[in-house]
């Protein structure tokens, strides 16, 4: 269903938006709780922080950043078309444009997040 | 309408609460484009998460009314946007009594998260001494 339902860019954009949105929501639930521990139990927070700073943690944060950036760019595309329906004709081109921005911003970003794990 | 391909939810025609939520999702979405991307960029590109200990947050990051306000605004926007988004997803896949049950739990979790997030961002004492 994920790849065949209506096919093409519009449906993939929708599927990625939904998957990234649910993933970000899950992280927000965890993140609000871990920040609460800064006041509630600072030692427990510092222990959790070590997980975030580890290599698996950094890979997770890179994926979180990718989900966030995709969701933000595609969301802006949706909002633009909602309030300027004439642009909907170019929804495909807008989606590809959002991927160009995604790669241009995301690849250097991923490098910055991952490099401390490799001692850079 | 059939001509339009949208990846967002079609604007509700009935008005009322559903239309209000539809608009609020877009307003909070634009706000989060700035707030969430700025938050993620500052705390991953300008600072390294490895250094963001509880001590660093109390003595540096939240030693400023601006950043506390920024984070509280982000909290409000992200709780609303993410839980209303999940509400749409739940509505698409879960029906009947289960939907009521799941939504009740979701709203409860949203209220609790907003409460504990507000408590910590407003009440955490500033400690200027470094450990």
Instruction: Give domain limits for chain B.
Output: 16-123
Cβ atoms of A28 and B108 closer than 8 Å: no
Which tens digits make up the pLDDT trace of B2-27?
Answer: 344 456 788 888 889 999 999 999 99
Indicate if the alpha-carbon torsion angle B34, B40, B46, B51 is positive or negative. Answer: positive
Nearest to A65 among B3, B6, B40 (CB): B40
On chain B, the residues whose CB falls within 8 A of the CB of A25 are 82-83, 85-86
Query: Per DSSP, which regions of chain B are E strands?
Result: none
Higher-pLDDT residue of B130 and B24 is B24
Q: What is the DSSP letter of B126?
A: P
| Helix-then-strand count for chain B, H and E | 4, 0
Q: Helix (H, G, I), strand (E, B), or coil: what is residue B11?
A: coil
Residues from chain A that touch B30, judged by Cβ atoms under 8 A, are 76, 79
User: A–B: how many Cβ contacts below 8 A?
Assistant: 125
**C-alpha span between A105 and A101 (Å, rounded):** 6
**C-alpha gyration radius of chain B:** 19
Q: Which of A14, A25, A65 to mutate to test the interface with B (most CBs of B within 10 A)?
A: A25
Contact criterion met (CB below 8 Å) for B6 and A81: yes
Q: Whole-angstrom Cα distance, residue B87 to residue B108?
A: 13
Helices A42-53 and A8-40 sit at what angle, rounded to 10 degrees? 140
Q: A25 to chain B, minimum CA–CA distance in Å?
A: 5
Whether B82 contacts B25, CB under 8 Å: no
B contacts of A57 (beta carbons < 8 Å): 49
pLDDT at A4 over 90: no
| CA A68/CA A10 separation, integer angstroms | 19
Residues B28-68 have pLDDT tens digits of 999 999 999 999 999 999 999 999 999 999 989 999 899 99
User: At residue A72, what are phi and psi to the nearest 5 degrees?
Assistant: -65, -45
If DSSP codes are grouped into helix, strand and coil, which group holds residue B52? Answer: coil
Chain B residues in contact with A82 (beta carbon < 8 A): 6, 8, 11, 26
The pLDDT score that the predictor gives to residue A7 is 65
Q: How far is B93 from chain A (nearest CA, A)?
A: 12
For residue B22, what pLDDT is reported? Answer: 94
Q: What is the pLDDT of residue B76?
A: 98
Q: How far B116 CA sits from the closest chain A CA (Å)?
A: 6
Please judge whether B30 and A79 are an interchain contact, meaning their C-beta atoms are less than 8 angstroms apart. yes
CATH class of B16-123: mainly alpha
CA-to-CA dists, residue A87 to A24, B1, B6, angstroms: 28, 14, 11
What is the four-CA torsion angle of A73, A5, A86, B89, rounded to 10 degrees? -50
Torsion angle of the four alpha carbons B34, B35, B38, B39, in this order, in degrees rounded to the nearest 10:
-160
**pLDDT computed for residue B131 by the predictor:** 44
The residues near B93 (Cβ < 8 Å, ≥ 6 apart) are none
Cα–Cα dist B99/B94, whole Å: 5
Q: Is the pLDDT of residue A107 over 80?
A: yes
Residue of A37, A82, A96 best to disrupt the B interface, most CBs of B under 10 A: A82
């Amino acid at each position: 269903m994920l790849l065949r339902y209506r096919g093409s860019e519009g449906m993939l954009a929708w599927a990625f938006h939904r998957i990234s949105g649910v993933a970000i929501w899950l992280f927000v639930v965890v993140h609000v709780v871990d920040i609460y521990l800064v006041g509630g139990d600072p030692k427990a927070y510092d222990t959790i922080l070590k997980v975030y700073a580890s290599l698996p943690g950094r890979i997770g944060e890179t994926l979180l950043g990718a989900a966030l950036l995709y969701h933000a760019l595609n969301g802006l595309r949706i909002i633009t078309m909602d309030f300027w329906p004439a642009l909907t004709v170019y929804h495909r081109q807008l989606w590809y444009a959002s991927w160009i921005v995604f790669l241009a911003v995301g690849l250097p970003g991923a490098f910055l997040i991952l490099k401390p794990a490799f001692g850079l | 309408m059939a001509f339009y391909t949208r990846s967002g939810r079609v604007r509700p025609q009935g008005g009322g609460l559903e239309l209000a939520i539809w608009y609020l999702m877009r307003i909070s979405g634009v706000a989060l484009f700035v707030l969430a991307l700025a938050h993620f960029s500052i705390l991953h590109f300008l600072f390294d998460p490895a250094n963001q200990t509880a001590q660093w947050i109390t003595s540096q990051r939240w030693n400023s009314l601006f950043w506390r306000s920024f984070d509280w605004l982000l909290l409000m926007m992200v709780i609303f946007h993410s839980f209303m988004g999940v509400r749409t997803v739940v509505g698409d896949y879960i029906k009947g009594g289960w939907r009521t049950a799941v939504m009740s739990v979701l709203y409860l979790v949203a209220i609790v998260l907003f409460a504990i997030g507000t408590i910590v961002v407003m009440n955490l004492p500033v400690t200027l001494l470094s450990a």
